[in-house]
Amino acid sequence: MNLIEEPLIAVRPDRNLTLPGVLAALARDDIESFPALRPHQAPAWHMFLVQLAALTLHKAGRKDIPEREDEWLTLLRGLTPDYPEDEPWCLVVEDWSKPAFLQPAVPEGVKLGNDVETADGLDLLITSRNHDLKQRMARNASPQDWLFALVSLQTGEGYGGAGNQGIVRMNGGSSSRAMLSLAPLARGKTMAVRPGAWFRRDLRVLLETRERALQNTQIDYADGGIGLTWLAPWPEGDQLQLKDLDIWFIEVCRRVRLSNRDGRITAVKGTSRETRIAAKALKGNLDDPWAPIHRTEGKSLTIGDDGDFDYRTLTRLLFSGEWVLPLLAHRASFEGPDAPLAITAQALARGNSKTGGFRTRIVPLENRQILRGWGSAQSQETLRQIAQEQTKAIDRFDKALAYALVLAAASGEKERISRDSYARTTAARAALDRFADTIFFEHLWQRFAVESLDEAARKAEALNFASRLWERTQAIFEQFLPDMPCHSLYRLRAEVRARRALRAADLRENYPEVFTDQHAREVTEHA
């Protein structure tokens, strides 16, 4: 099961490739997808391939990206010259004194006593809140299933209890490794990222910016240091030091070995007293080119087990100034205003020994103005202000919706409204927020595009956003109004007063045009 010689990885268009074949095909933009790759494994797989390719080309002193499999084969072997039998590229190596793929050698005296029968049992998901899939179900896993599980585990796992250490590229053991990046969109498919184009883009950026990254980092990385951490011996209690690592190091966080039992792969896991790499104090701030870093607290992003990449999270990350955008979230030197790009945000929502599911968001950058201005201080400030205005608008309509519904539940008597009664509006308010999330960035980009025009153009775009919110607020109000408990004797009065309350003074003051008959008709026709 030699990954660099055997075609074990299925891709579309339908065929199987070696690991060098995958790198070559990605370089040619000749892969549409990896059908065996599960959604939550995709970020780890992408980052692994880019880091591996970057380490490989830097080792060889190359900045061009080869498109031939035989070249990649030679280059990968150049990373492991001490292993003529390719052990570091094999899923199964029976001699545990030698490393296998993402599996450090097992030193004498260290026992691996936790058997794992399936590939998904090895993966990083925690079963207590495993919404996306159930672990330990696939007992007939193929080698590529174990490959993807290994990459997911070793480069993305958090703390899992005594001796089960997590990676250092995250802010604490209950976090996850978040990704925030720009990615090239497939032509004609505004919500699809093409794996090969994304791979080439990220790899090219890393190669072009390596010298600057090493100059700017606060960490004393070794130029040409350890990149494949599973090659290094791992005595119990021993930790790798950052000064011995390459800035693009690929880490392994757990003691794992795969075995072949009568043609079926199984695994065994062990524990370790310390994290493999000594970097806990840095809270994930390790120059990860995909990781947002909090500007004042110096920690990498954590979204928590109930977090998501909604408009509030993304605008805070992108425009608030509180977060330093990662290298790959900036427009590259070779990307012009016509390059179809999207913001890509991905992470496993994770808390203390629980997961909330895989979170992913793709937001296309939809016009030349936003692409041209992306990353400049002036553009970021303008986007921050517009995003703040839109968020305030959402809050105003949310407040009006909630009050109107609780007024109905209070039989139209505002004196009977209690704080607890607002709990009845949770579903309605969530529906409005979900709608706002679907249109937020579309209108943000449109408003940014007219920012240099006259006041009338800017006001018209702001009004369009408010009008769509108002239209949906009314629809949600009518949908949830019958669910509000109210004595039949007072029902008519309650609904009349609730509808009047929906047109709150705050809304009429801030968006008077929304309530004109002419504009209401235009919005209805648009919807």
**pLDDT by residue (tens digit) across 371-383?**
888 988 999 999 9
Q: How far is it, in rounded angstroms, from Cα 280 to Cα 130?
A: 27
- Averaged pLDDT in 10-residue chunks for the chain of 527 residues: 97 96 98 95 98 98 97 98 97 97 94 91 65 55 95 93 90 88 82 93 98 96 95 94 98 96 92 94 96 96 90 96 96 88 93 80 90 90 96 97 94 88 95 98 96 91 96 96 88 92 92 73 46
Token duo for residue 439: 């249109």
Phi, psi (5° rounding) for residue 503?
Answer: -85, 65
Q: In angstroms, rounded to a whole number, what is the distance separating the alpha carbons of residues 36 and 15?
A: 12
What's the pTM? 0.92
Query: What is the tens place of the pLDDT at every residue in 246-290?
Result: 999 999 999 999 999 888 999 999 999 999 999 999 999 999 999
Q: What per-residue confidence (pLDDT) applies to 241?
A: 97
Residue 338's alpha-carbon distances to 12, 333, 366, 510, 523, in angstroms, are: 27, 13, 10, 36, 31
Exposure on the CB side of residue 190, measured as CA atoms within 13 A: 6
pLDDT of residue 518: 44
In this predicted structure, what is the pLDDT of residue 261?
A: 87
CA distance 451 to 330: 22
Distance between CA 342 and CA 268 in Å, rounded? 40
The label of the residue with tokens 């109210």 reads: 486
The predicted structure's pLDDT at residue 129 = 46
Phi, psi of 47, rounded to the nearest 5 degrees: -65, -40
Beta strands in 30-141 (DSSP E): 114-116
Q: Where are the alpha helices (DSSP H) in 185-276?
A: 195-216
The pLDDT of residue 128: 40
- E strands along 251-372, which residues? 255-261, 264-270, 293-294, 323-324, 341-351, 354-364
Which among 62, 63, 67, 55 has a CA at the least distance from the CA of 27? 67
On the 0-12 / 13-18 / 19+ scale of CB atoms within 10 A, 390 is buried
Residues of the chain with pLDDT > 90: what percent? 77
Cβ(26)–Cβ(200) below 8 Å: yes
